[in-house]
């Protein structure tokens, strides 16, 4: 922390600037560009990243899930080892802030927390996050998951494709396939092994990008591509913003032959 400004230095700095307007603009600027923030290496993104072991990250994600749920689990498993490699101040990152992501944000069933934590890790560690994010989200929608079973998992493997990046449908599809309740111990474990699977995949993608490999990027079904031609950016209607699969929610339009 030796390079960060102490209070006295900060007061001197502000005092040295021409008038109150300059002092206000110092604090109004974005964190990465303000002099106060750039004094700490932790405030710069991306953090330096060297390949880590995906299998180790998968196991760690499962164990972290048991401490702080899905979003914390995936984020901590990916960023924790990087912070440990880099030492202080990186290790003081408040990892537990991501506990809120449990159950698609405190049980609201929106974005899957295992994805959400992984996306935050990608944004923090990748010099070019968007293709990694699109690759991971498309993979999550279609891949039968969990596909990684960590040590300590008790129940038989049951995999299902979420068809969506949303927690609600992801859990519903799995419960239907497994014949289990949403609050059963089996489902709780499934989200732990899912967190492990998503963290492991994310590390594979980060490693591939770090090695200079191209990402697959967005992979939509033909049907969704078709919907987007008219409804997304530049289309004749242009009234939505979404890359996710349309079919899970718009069965009515599809069955009625709309847009096909």
Per the CB < 8 A criterion, the answer to whether 53 and 204 are in contact is no
Give the footprint of ligand HEC on residues 149-188 (CB under 6 A).
166
Question: C-alpha angle with apex 43: 42 to 47, nearest 5 degrees?
Answer: 55
Told to check if 240 binds ligand HEC by CB under 6 A, we report: yes
If the CB atoms of residues 64 and 164 are measured against ligand HEC, the closer one turns out to be: 164
Q: How far apart are CA 133 and CA 218, in angstroms?
A: 9
Q: Which of 144, 142, 143 is nearest to 178 (CA)?
A: 144
Distances (CA, A) of 183 to 38, 83, 150, 170: 45, 33, 21, 14
Q: Is the dihedral of CA 65, 69, 70, 72 positive or negative?
A: negative
Is residue 223 a contact point for ligand HEC (CB under 6 A)? yes
> Which of these ranges, 28-36, 42-50, 202-210, 245-253, lies near ligand HEC under the rule CB under 6 A?
245-253
Residue 231 sits in the site that holds ligand HEC (CB under 6 A) = yes
Return the residue of 187, 216, 249, 257 that touches ligand HEC, per CB under 6 A: 249
Q: How many CB atoms lie within 10 A of CB 30?
A: 7
Stretch that binds ligand HEC, among 87-95, 139-147, 189-197, 221-229 (CB under 6 A): 221-229
Closest CA to 209 of 47, 48, 80, 51: 51
| From 69-77, 104-112, 202-210, 247-255, span contacting ligand HEC (CB under 6 A) | 247-255
Which window, 6-14, 130-138, 143-151, 249-257, contacts ligand HEC (CB under 6 A)?
Answer: 249-257
Total site size for ligand HEC, rule CB under 6 A: 24
Task: List residues binding ligand HEC (CB under 6 A).
Answer: 166, 223-224, 226-231, 236-237, 239-240, 242, 244, 246, 248-250, 253-254, 258-260
């Amino acid at each position: 922390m030796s390079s960060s400004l102490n209070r006295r230095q900060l007061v001197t700095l502000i005092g040295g600037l021409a008038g109150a307007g300059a002092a206000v603009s110092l604090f109004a600027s974005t964190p990465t560009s303000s002099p106060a923030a750039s004094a700490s290496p932790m405030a710069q993104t991306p953090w330096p990243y060297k390949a880590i072991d995906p299998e180790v990250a998968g196991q760690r994600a499962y164990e972290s899930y048991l401490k702080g749920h899905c979003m914390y689990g995936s984020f901590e498993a990916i960023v924790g080892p990087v912070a440990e490699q880099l030492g202080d101040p990186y290790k003081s990152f408040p990892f537990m802030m991501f506990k809120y992501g449990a159950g698609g944000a405190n049980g609201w069933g929106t974005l899957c927390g295992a994805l959400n934590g992984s996306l935050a890790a990608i944004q923090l560690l990748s010099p070019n996050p968007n293709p990694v994010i699109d690759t991971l989200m498309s993979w999550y929608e279609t891949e039968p998951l969990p596909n990684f079973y960590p040590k300590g998992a008790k129940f038989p493997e049951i995999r299902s494709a979420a068809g969506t990046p949303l927690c609600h449908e992801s859990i519903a599809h799995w419960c239907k396939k497994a014949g289990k309740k949403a609050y059963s111990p089996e489902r709780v474990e499934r989200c732990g092994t899912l967190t492990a699977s998503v963290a492991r995949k994310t590390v594979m993608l980060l490693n591939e990008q770090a090695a200079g490999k191209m990402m697959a990027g967005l992979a939509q079904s033909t049907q969704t591509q078709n919907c987007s031609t008219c409804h997304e950016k530049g289309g004749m209607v242009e009234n939505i913003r979404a890359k996710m699969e349309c079919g899970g929610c718009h069965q009515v339009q599809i069955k009625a032959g709309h847009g096909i």
